[in-house]
Amino acid sequence: MWSVVCFFIDSRLRGRGITLALLLAAVDYAKSNGGRVVEGYPVEPGPRLYTYMGAPPNW
């Protein structure tokens, strides 16, 4: 099993799809190396300092 723990994107570059592009590349990389499952750990948005690790989309 593969896992994506966090991304560090400069605050000036956020909101441009960089995180999604990195995530898709990571999934492709895992798949090309035999990976069948990739876990992620998004957190709910809020005042916590670790929300930069990823937040689930608002649906």
Average pLDDT over residues 33-59: 70
Tell me the pTM: 0.68
**Contact present, 13 and 22 (Cβ < 8 Å):** no
**Contact present, 17 and 29 (Cβ < 8 Å):** no
pLDDT tier for residue 40 given thresholds of 50, 70 and 90 = confident
Whole-number pLDDT of residue 14 = 84
Whole-number pLDDT of residue 28 = 96
Alpha-carbon distances of 17 from 13, 48, 56, rounded to whole Å: 9, 22, 14
Domain assignments of the chain as residue spans, ordered by start: 2-53
* Per-residue model confidence as pLDDT tens digits over 6-17: 887 888 888 899
